[in-house]
């Protein structure tokens, strides 16, 4: 059982490949969780906005966002609070 299957909650899953998303969503549902698979390329600001809107439409809110893909430039970001602009976000997610 993966860590996602152990979640006692609701998750929106986002990736570029729908087949992998649906497989994971089925595993989460089989374990009693709720999952919304969303196929998207979040290196696009429009796609990222669509993901947030779809999540809020389905569940009423978005509590936590985790980006578990992409690349990170060497060194810490210049802003100590790790706030990033759209150009940096795009380069991270476009990997």
Domain locations along the chain: 10-93
Task: Summarize the chain as % helix, strand, coil (round to 5).
Answer: 40, 15, 50
* Annotation: CATH topology of 10-93: Rossmann fold (3.40.50)
For residue 19, what are the contacts with CB-CB under 8 A and spacing of at least 6?
none
Please give the pLDDT value at position 43: 80
Cα dihedral 21, 23, 28, 29 in deg (nearest 10): 110
Report whether pLDDT(69) > 80.
no
Residue 79, burial from CB neighbour count under 10 angstroms (0-12, 13-18, 19+) = exposed
What pTM value is reported for the model?
0.68
Report whether pLDDT(73) > 60.
no
For 14-29, write each residue's pLDDT tens digit: 998 888 889 989 988 8
Tell me the β-bridge partners of 15.
39
The mean pLDDT value of the chain amounts to 79
């Amino acid at each position: 059982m993966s860590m996602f299957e152990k979640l006692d909650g609701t998750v929106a899953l986002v990736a570029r490949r729908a087949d992998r998303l649906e497989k994971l969503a089925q595993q989460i549902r089989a374990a009693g969780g709720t999952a919304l698979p969303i196929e998207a390329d979040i290196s696009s600001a429009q796609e990222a906005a669509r993901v947030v809107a779809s999540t809020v439409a389905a569940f009423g809110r978005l509590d936590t966002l985790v980006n578990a893909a992409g690349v990170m430039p060497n060194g810490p970001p210049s802003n100590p609070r790790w706030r990033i602009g759209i150009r940096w976000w795009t380069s991270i997610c476009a990997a």
